[in-house]
Amino acid sequence: MHRIGKTPNFGIDAPEEGLFVSTVEYTPSCETYEQLDEKGEVQGLALYKQKVEVSLTGEVPYQADGAASAYHMGGTITLANTCPENRWLGGTAPEATTTVITGLPYTRNREGAQEISVTAAIYPFGIAEG
């Protein structure tokens, strides 16, 4: 067997804590400032307000106490599947990040496991403790 090109990456790298993840999606975004010369031509560009939005969906595991999940709006989570470094539009990933949950749809149906979809934003700064 001969391969042409490189083998793609498959699947989820690591299990998340608190749910069985089936999909993870990262969407980087930022605002830009264009520095123009006297003719109105772009000569420089600044990227700011960078963030990476993350969306993950998975099944909620059974818990003996009946609690579905400890997640709540505005809460923070730690992702086992960390945001790939090349997702940051400004180049390398920042040294510290903060992930904030922005949405939490919860699905139940007759013929499947309970599912939760977490939407969050990863910001390029760490939360100071103290």
**Residue in 119, 129, 73, 70 with CA at minimum distance from that of residue 96:** 129
Count: domains in the chain: 1
pLDDT greater at residue 53 or residue 80: 53
Q: Is residue 102 part of a domain?
A: yes
Could you tell me the pLDDT band of residue 43, with boundaries at 50, 70 and 90? very high
Which tens digit of pLDDT belongs to each residue from 4-35? 777 777 777 776 666 788 888 889 888 889 99
Q: Is residue 64 part of a domain?
A: yes
**Residue in 34, 68, 64 with CA at minimum distance from that of residue 48:** 34
Cα separation, 60 vs 21, in Å, equals 9
pTM of the model: 0.66
Tell me which residue range forms the domain holding 112: 20-123
Report the length, in residues, of the chain: 130
